């Protein structure tokens, strides 16, 4: 089992990133060989500030280590340090179909009404993502629900390349979508994803928030006046309540129905303080380690450089295989 996953290096990690992606990454380390990277090459597909990007790569790496990514056992690096990602993405562009990319809902969402003004990189983003996992013969790719479609494209691409060129080069990766907390929603609106781009900071819990801020955000989270029912099925029309119970379950390592069994009949006056305590206690050691690492950026850089060296060794045979399959002689 080889696990590969990437995360965009954005400024502030929040609970959605942690419960939807990173917490699962940390657990995956017990199940297989893992490669995790900061997707800095993906980040340049939208406008970015170079100095901010450099800082975000370090900040996100610090957060990942703080959240339990063990850089001895797993390989942690940033994409730009391993040139094979960009190279394979280009080679795959010959096989990817425009029709496939036209169906990608994330491109439609991110480009919005200004499709003509979106970067070409944003459009071919899924091809780079396919290269990211195919390079390492990934068997399993833990991602949030929003990335499932991109993984399906990676499988289609791998299969078409293997067939078109009569090779058995690429392994078809399986997406691993988290169950309990695949989608953490905004604390202000249970129908919108918790997101770093929400203008209200009260809508999300940042990993850098101190305990008092976290408790306050949970206290003020939008809810309704009804008591909690005994099962998740009964919360179908109550997105805010569903979200809070989902967060509790993810932190407690239990199912949402198990949590509801304890709180059935209680109102949010009882549930919110319990959730706040659980959240504060879980995030405290993470925040402390995170801030400590951020104070030592050269240590973070050394870890990423070492990870990139290890990743490049693993990527090489697949990249060579792709050039050879395409009939592209190489120097050196
Ligand atoms: P982003 O920062 O939006 O690029 O997301 C980075 C990772 O976190 C991806 O794997 C997303 O699927 C995951 N993620 C982001 N927001 C959420 C959310 N609200 N709930 C669950 N997962 C999320
Ligand atoms: N596109 C992913 C996201 O926005 C990040 C990503 C880039 C990724 N390459 C990947 C995830 C490869 C899994 C595998 O979250």
Domains located in the chain, CATH noted: 2-182+297-326 (3.40.50.620), 201-293 (1.10.240.10)
Q: How would you write the pLDDT of the chain (332 residues) with one tens digit per residue?
A: 999 999 999 877 899 888 877 888 999 999 999 999 999 999 999 988 999 999 999 999 999 999 999 999 999 999 999 999 999 999 999 999 999 999 999 999 999 999 999 999 999 999 999 999 999 999 999 987 889 999 999 999 999 999 999 999 999 999 998 665 568 999 999 999 999 889 999 999 999 999 999 999 999 999 999 999 999 999 999 999 999 999 999 999 899 999 999 999 999 999 999 999 999 999 999 999 999 999 999 999 999 999 999 999 999 999 999 999 999 988 76
Closest CA to 153 of 177, 176, 127: 127
Residue-level pLDDT at 276: 97
Report the candidate in 73, 16, 2, 3 with the shortest Cα–Cα distance to residue 197: 16
Secondary structure of residue 4 in the 3-state scheme: strand
For a mutational test of ligand 2's pocket, the pick from 2, 3, 4, 7, i.e. the residue with the most ligand atoms closer than 8 A to its C-beta, is: 7
CB 326 within 8 A of CB 166: no
**224 C-beta neighbours (distance < 10 Å), count:** 13
Ligand 1, residues 146, 187, 188, 240: which to mutate, most atoms within 8 A of Cβ? 146
The confidence score (pLDDT) of residue 178 equals 67
Count of beta carbons in the 10 Å neighbourhood of residue 328: 9
For the chain, list the strands marked E by DSSP: 2-7, 33-38, 75-78, 140-143, 174-177
- Does the C-beta of 246 come closer than 6 Å to ligand 1? no
Burial class (CB in 10 A: 0-12, 13-18, 19+), 242: middle
């Amino acid at each position: 089992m080889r696990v590969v996953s990437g995360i965009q290096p954005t400024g502030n990690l929040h609970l959605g990133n942690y419960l939807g992606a990173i917490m699962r990454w940390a657990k995956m380390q017990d199940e297989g060989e893992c490669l995790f990277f900061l997707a800095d090459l993906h980040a340049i597909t939208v406008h970015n500030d170079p100095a901010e990007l450099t800082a975000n790569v370090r900040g996100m790496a610090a957060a990942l280590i703080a959240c339990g990514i063990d850089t001895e056992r797993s390989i942690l690096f940033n994409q730009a340090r391993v040139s094979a990602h960009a190279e394979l993405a280009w080679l795959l562009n010959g096989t990817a179909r425009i029709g496939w990319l036209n169906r990608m809902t994330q491109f439609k969402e991110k480009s919005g009404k200004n499709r003509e003004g979106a970067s070409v990189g944003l459009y071919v983003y899924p091809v780079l993502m396919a290269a990211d996992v195919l390079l390492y013969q990934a068997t399993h790719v833990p991602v949030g629900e929003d990335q499932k479609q991109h993984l399906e494209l990676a499988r289609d691409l791998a299969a078409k390349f293997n067939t078109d060129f009569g090779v058995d080069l690429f392994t078809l990766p399986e997406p691993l979508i988290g169950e309990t907390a695949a989608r953490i929603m905004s604390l202000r609106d249970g129908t919108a994803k918790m997101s770093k781009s929400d203008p209200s900071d009260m809508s999300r819990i940042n990993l850098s928030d101190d305990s008092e801020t976290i408790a306050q955000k949970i206290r003020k989270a939008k809810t309704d006046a009804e008591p909690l029912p005994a099962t998740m099925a009964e919360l179908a029309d109550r997105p805010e309540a569903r979200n809070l119970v989902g967060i509790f379950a993810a932190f407690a390592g239990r199912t949402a129905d198990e949590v509801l069994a304890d709180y059935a009949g209680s109102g949010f006056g009882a549930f919110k303080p319990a959730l706040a305590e659980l959240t504060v206690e879980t995030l405290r050691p993470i925040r402390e380690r995170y801030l400590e690492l951020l104070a030592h950026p050269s240590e973070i850089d050394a870890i990423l450089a070492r990870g990139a060296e290890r990743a490049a060794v693993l990527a090489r045979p697949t990249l060579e295989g792709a050039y050879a399959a395409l009939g592209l002689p190489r120097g050196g």
